[in-house]
């Protein structure tokens, strides 16, 4: 395939080494933004579960959008995975008997030519044209992220910071400076949120 590297976070980050985690977690946004493809074991409960499940989910998995899988997919309930999915330009979700392809422009399921629509992301290259639309998208991003699981509460800010940097770089003209979770140009609106 011509690829020289594969990144597997549980192998490339020393799991019990706080110093290594601090160093590598700072690189994760860049890793996922620059990945040619992210492979997601979407139905796996943890790093040991793998891509292929022996569980027999009912046939309704066919034609489900990735967001519809959240109630049954443990991986999609994790804060770090949310961030990685937003930053990655291409994700292959492995399910039982199904593969879902998701990119910034559309999603497709393996079972047919049925299209799932655009990847639900606020960090793609099609920014909303006005401040209110951008602010609403930002608030939705933070609300969605806040509902997800993190191993440590202290991971919340590092987990979303890379997404916020990307969000800001695409919409700096509408938002202005980032001020501890709020934006300078929409500060009044943000304070009322």
Q: Looking at 75-79, 130-134, 159-163, 180-184, which range is the least confident one?
A: 130-134
Query: What gap in Å lies between CA 3 and CA 109, rounded to an integer?
Result: 25
116 and 66 Cβ atoms separated by less than 8 Å: yes
Check pLDDT > 80 for residue 116: no
- The fraction of the chain above a pLDDT of 70, given in percent, is 77
Q: Looking at 4-18, 36-50, 114-128, which range is the least confident one?
A: 114-128
**What does the domain layout of the chain look like in residue ranges?**
1-121, 122-193
> Residues 149, 54, 57, CA angle at the centre, nearest 5°?
70
pLDDT tens digit string along 67-98?
666 566 777 788 888 888 888 889 888 887 77
For CA atoms 142, 47, 33, 100, give the dihedral sign. negative
pTM for the model = 0.72
Residues 21-37: what's their mean pLDDT?
Answer: 85
Confidence of residue 188 (pLDDT cuts 50, 70, 90): confident
Check pLDDT > 50 for residue 175: yes
Q: Which residue has the higher pLDDT, 140 or 123?
A: 140
In the chain, DSSP assigns E strands to 38-40, 90-95, 98-103, 107-109, 115-117, 178-179, 182-183
Provide the pLDDT for residue 86: 82
């Amino acid at each position: 395939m011509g690829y020289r590297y594969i990144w597997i976070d549980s192998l490339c980050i020393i799991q019990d080494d706080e110093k290594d985690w601090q160093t590598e977690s700072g690189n994760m946004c860049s890793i996922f933004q620059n990945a040619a493809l992210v492979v997601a074991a979407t139905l796996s409960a943890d790093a040991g579960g793998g891509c292929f499940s022996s569980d027999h989910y009912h046939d309704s998995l066919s034609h489900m959008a990735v967001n519809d899988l959240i109630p049954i997919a443990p991986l999609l309930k994790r804060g770090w995975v949310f961030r990685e999915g937003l930053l990655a330009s291409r994700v292959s979700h492995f399910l039982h008997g199904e593969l879902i392809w998701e990119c910034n422009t559309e999603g497709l399921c393996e079972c047919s030519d049925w299209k799932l629509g655009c990847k639900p992301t606020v960090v793609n290259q099609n920014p909303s044209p006005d401040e209110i639309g951008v602010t609403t998208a930002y608030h939705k991003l933070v609300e969605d992220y806040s509902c997800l699981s993190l191993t440590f509460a202290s991971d919340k800010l590092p987990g979303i910071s890379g997404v916020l940097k990307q969000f800001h770089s695409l919409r700096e003209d509408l938002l202005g400076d980032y001020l501890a979770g709020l934006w300078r140009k929409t500060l009044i609106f943000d304070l009322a949120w």
